[in-house]
Each structure stands twice: as structure tokens, then as C-alpha cells.
Amino acid sequence: MNNYKMLIQYDGGRYKGWQRLKNGENTIQGKIESVLAEMVGREIEITGCSRTDAGVHALAQIANFKINENLSESEVKNYLNRYLPRDISIREVTIVPENFHARYHAKGKTYLYRIWNEEYPNPFMRKYSMHIEKKLNTIRMKKAGQYFIGVHDFTAFSNAKSKKKSMVREIYSIDLDEDAGLIEIRVCGNGFLYNMVRKIVGSLIEVGLDKINAEDILKILDAKERNQTGGIADASGLFLEKIDY
């Protein structure tokens, strides 16, 4: 049996997220599986590394699937890109060992969040960033970000829909860069809960707007109460940027 690994990019703006839904609504997984089914003549299930939320984008989603057919990497890649919608792109297809699993073998994930921090809106960034008019205090935001680093119980930064048995995750780093009105926040960790990155960014924004102190992050983590976190950042600004194996 051949195991195919895919590097996928997508604009998630018009989709209900990565994971296929029972009611048949638009999802990234569903679209790719539908094309693969046409290619081999039967249903195919793919395994994605990260179940991105509705409206979230990906620069480097990884997924794999197995088939008995001996199709070349280029045949699979070309077929998918020919029939998939233009907002989903298969950048690479690689035949990997049969035991490779896109989700279980991942050692780390990096998410990128973009904020357009100018008084005026940017029409070319509106689908791919969150617009905040008031100037953010990025020095305070950087300080607050450091309190997330390490192993913590992230119950406060999860969604009530989270079905994971453990809310403990490790954040390896949070980096913030600012250039000409664009703020980019990169969050790297061993795994993330439903809405976790958007809630982390939402709290960093609260710090940047001087609504809470940087030191309050530790208190919120310790309290494990979801209603103590800042607002959730818009889905449009979030990208799955990198997965490490």
C-alpha cells in the first residue's frame, strides 16, 4: 500500500474549517477527499495534522492518505490541482513510509497571526488580518507573550467545544514582529486546543490596548476559567504556517 504525504495551502475564508462534517458543508478535507475519490473510483479518507477552524488559512497544512494504486507523486499532485477549487493548492506530494501519520508524528506546529494596526483599513489585507485602529503597545504584548511559554493547563484559553481529555500543552515560543503597520505574531507549540491560538492572541491584544496587565496572563492560566480571557481574535488573521516532524 502506498502512503502519500501532501503539503497543502488554502484560503479558508469560505470554508467551515478543515475537518469533514457529517452534514456535507464545505470543508477543506471534504473537498480534497471528493477529488481523490474521483481519481481512484472509491471513497478515500485523508488524515490532516491540524484541524483548522472555520475561516482559518494554511500556508503549510500536512495530510496523508493510503491507496493500493501505484500512482506517481506528480500524477496525484497534478490531478488534485486540476480539479480542486482555486483557493486550495497542493504544493507537494511525496510517497512516504507506510507508518507515517500526519498528526501523530508531528513534533511541533507554528501558527501565524496578522494584525493590521493602522487607523485606516487596508483593502488588500482585509481577508487575511484583523484590523485594529488603536495603536497597540507591542512592548507590553511581547512581555505578556513570555508568560505563555512552557507547559501549562490551557483550559482558560480553550473553547467549551474542546473534547480533549487533557488541556495541558507546551508553548515553545511566541514571537512578535512589527513593520509598517503590520504586526505578526508567531505561536509555536507541541499542540493546540480548539480556538486556543485565537484566544491567546485575543488576550495579547487586550494587553496591547492596556485593558489588562501582562502579569495577568499567569493569573488567568492558574484560574482555568474561560470567562477571564480576552476576546477571541478574528479567524481571518490566523494561518497554520509550519509543522515540524
Cβ-Cβ contacts under 8 Å for 5 (sequence gap 6 or more): 62, 63, 64, 92, 93, 94, 95, 96, 100, 102
Q: Which of 53, 153, 175, 216 is catalytic?
A: 53
* Contacts of 78-82 spanning 24+ positions with Cβ under 8 A: 79/35, 79/39, 80/6, 80/32, 80/35, 80/36, 80/39
Task: Using alpha carbons, select from 88, 107, 97 the residue that is nearest to residue 49.
Answer: 107
Reported as type and span, the H/E element at residue 85 is none
- Find out whether 240 and 59 touch, Cβ atoms under 8 Å: yes
Work out whether strand 57-67 and strand 150-153 pair parallel, antiparallel, or are unpaired.
Answer: unpaired
What single-letter amino acid sits at 235?
A: A
Q: Is 234 a catalytic residue?
A: no
Residues with catalytic function: 53
